[in-house]
A = this chain, B = another copy of it.
């Protein structure tokens, strides 16, 4: 889908966050800025490679900001841009629905 023109706004949104990890990354960053290692730990079972590549995508799409501190050892902080934060209503709706679903199981 990455190379296709979205035909509607829903598809536009899907293009940017519909994979296994991006929504979870956004959820973590909604609680505030996090270092790479913190992010990896808080998400849990994500691999380094996958976390990096998703962060790169999201940075390219303007959802995430990456700040590199010129230190040794390296120190990198990730945070949501305004655009990234504007995804919160979607996450909230997903949270509400997921909770309701679990109660019906």
A-side interface residues toward B, CB under 8 Å? 1, 6-14, 16, 18-20, 23-24, 27, 44, 83, 86-87, 89-102, 104
> How many identical chains are in the complex?
2
Interface of A is mostly: helix
Q: Which of B9, B24, B98 contacts A98 (CB 8 A)?
A: B9
User: How distant is the Cα of A6 from the Cα of B83 in the complex, in angstroms?
Assistant: 27
29 residue pairs from A and B, CB less than 8 Å apart: A1-B20, A8-B95, A9-B94, A9-B95, A9-B96, A9-B99, A9-B101, A9-B102, A10-B24, A10-B94, A10-B98, A12-B99, A12-B101, A12-B102, A13-B98, A13-B101, A14-B23, A14-B24, A14-B94, A18-B23, A83-B101, A83-B104, A86-B100, A89-B93, A89-B96, A90-B90, A90-B94, A90-B97, A92-B93
